[in-house]
Structure 1
């Protein structure tokens, strides 16, 4: 972000200041301070159109493979598409976005793995859906950490607007253990409007929820959670994808192939020997 002399805030008594010279650094600073930020994914309009087509195809096939809309509705899974990267390489490309991985490397100690990837549909006409309740993306946890344990990168396949249910956040709630009071939530929640092709990036401990989509069109997004290897993946990706899914060493680490749980003492000791 470029600033002119007139843009520099007046201050006194300041001896230290954080520095942010590009969009990745600015987003990291925003996440540290507020728990969320927005960054452009760097994709062309043509690529976004291709991904939108892939999303719709994967969604239709996903429903067919898993018993149809009624079966998924009965378990409140009809507005979610689990692990789309297993069915179209565009979603693997999306999960490996250079800016997002750069943010993760700056905020998460060590290296991160892809904990989950889900297509998310915010249904039209004011319908309720399972992401419309306040939550953390590490749910049921009431603690804070000096550094993020996981980062949420919500890709806006469609523009996020107030009318179609832009994600709402409680700024800086990743710094507090308890969920805020109802009066605080009602007065301090902020909707995050964002253009198509951008990521809304969150510390996974910040409380957030989907807004109500009052338009006649579903709003599509692809959510990613990148976590420290210690945290269990939502779906065991190496098992789900198979050992031959990719031979690229960076992608294998991202997908969790380097963080497999030893199945025996012998495997554990063999892993120790490899690292020594």
Structure 2
């Protein structure tokens, strides 16, 4: 079953077919190798910062190799977001404007067993045909059977039943693809990271995009600073959540339409 396509060639019709039938699709060779290498260098420092916080807070064992909320001013992650990868497909899937719910990464190393290797889906509530969230995974190394290519149970996004381990691992397909490829998948799809049996890390960016009314995992506009909005493109203001903020007092609430924190078109 082929669900791999060159990044520039996937139409919305083709995208719809694969997302409805399988729940996931691979866009091969979407990122240039130099940019992938730049992201990997950035992850080294970003992981050190987050790892210390994980250890300080007593959650080091289950969070090995995981990096959350890679969003900040003048960050590589902002450069990545500004490129608008799969914007047309995400906008089509969510039927309009969308925002970033979370952006993180996984560094899968040999025989490490973080929580992402559990069979899971990335949204608690089963939403059926009403789609509120879509996931993106950016392959920063070649994904192979040996280094833990992600398992996807194709079609499992169509029912609200968690598969048992035997069913899952018997029928799940693997996201074997080249470094620089993108994977989009329905957030209702059951999946799990594989076990890396090699001596080299298997790295990936992981992110979720939602309809704008869905609460972000971290308040990115507040993190980045409200003053940054003036320097952002309309696209970046939208996906970072600057157009769907929540007023904190009546002075912020009672504003002309153009100054409101929650802008039109975010429903």
Whether the TM-score (by the shorter chain) exceeds 0.5 is yes
- Residue 164 of structure 1 contacts residue 215 of structure 1 at CA under 8 Å; is this kept in 2? yes
Q: Which structure 2 residues correspond to residues 260-275 of structure 1 after superposition, within 5 A?
A: 260-264=245-249, 267-270=252-255
Change (3 A) 1:187 1:130: same
Rounded to whole Å, the distance in 1 between the matches of 2:190 and 2:256 is 37
Deviation (angstroms), 1:254: 0.5
Rounded to whole Å, the distance in 1 between the matches of 2:136 and 2:180 is 12
Other-structure match for 2:41:
53
- Residue 90 of structure 2 contacts residue 134 of structure 2 at CA under 8 Å; is this kept in 1? yes
Residue 139 (structure 2) pairs with residue 152 (structure 1) = no
CA RMSD in angstroms, aligned pairs only:
2.5
Residue 19 (structure 2) pairs with residue 31 (structure 1) = yes
> Quick check: which has more Rg, 1 or 2?
1
Aligned partner (choices 77, 84, 99) of residue 91 of structure 1: 77
Rounded to whole Å, the distance in 2 between the matches of 1:113 and 1:41 is 24
The alignment's TM-score, normalised by the length of structure 1, stands at 0.81
Change (3 A) 1:54 1:28: farther
Rounded to whole Å, the distance in 2 between the matches of 1:55 and 1:71 is 21
Deviation (angstroms), 1:271: 6.7
Residue 15 (structure 2) pairs with residue 22 (structure 1) = no
Change (3 A) 1:38 1:271: farther
Rounded to whole Å, the distance in 2 between the matches of 1:44 and 1:184 is 37
Q: For each residue in 1:207-262, what CA deviation from the matched residue of structure 2 results, as whole angstroms up to 9, or x when unmatched? A: 11101111112211111100011211111111111123452222011001111123
Other-structure match for 2:185:
202
Residue 91 (structure 2) pairs with residue 105 (structure 1) = yes
Q: Which structure 2 residues correspond to residues 233-244 of structure 1 after superposition, within 5 A?
A: 233-244=216-227
5+ residue gaps in structure 2?
Answer: 1-7
Deviation (angstroms), 1:145: 2.5
Aligned partner (choices 220, 243, 247) of residue 258 of structure 1: 243
